[in-house]
Structure 1
């Protein structure tokens, strides 16, 4: 999505990343770490991501 964009789009990439995290299934027991493939357990990050997304949009707009 952002492969051809300059680093000026980092703010929107961050906002989209928080939206992605907020949409993850909270009932999952673990996630697989990219690269190593190791399993990461017990992280409940969806609430924080839902809180961060509108704050990121607010920061972009100001």
Structure 2
């Protein structure tokens, strides 16, 4: 289920933030690293509404 959750969360962020899927994935991955949580756990939290899209609105540092 790992890949499905990450892909779903990427698509969700892409649609909600009006950004390309590649950028949504970068932001998802960057937040996982910043929060020190596994990528699939953060994806699950996004899909369940535990983490809102506001956490993903800023560009990751260095981008």
TM over 0.5, shorter chain: no
Structure with bigger helix share is 2
Q: Which has the larger radius of gyration?
A: 1
**Bigger fraction of residues in strand:** 1
The TM-score with structure 2 as length reference comes to 0.30
TM-score by length of 1: 0.30
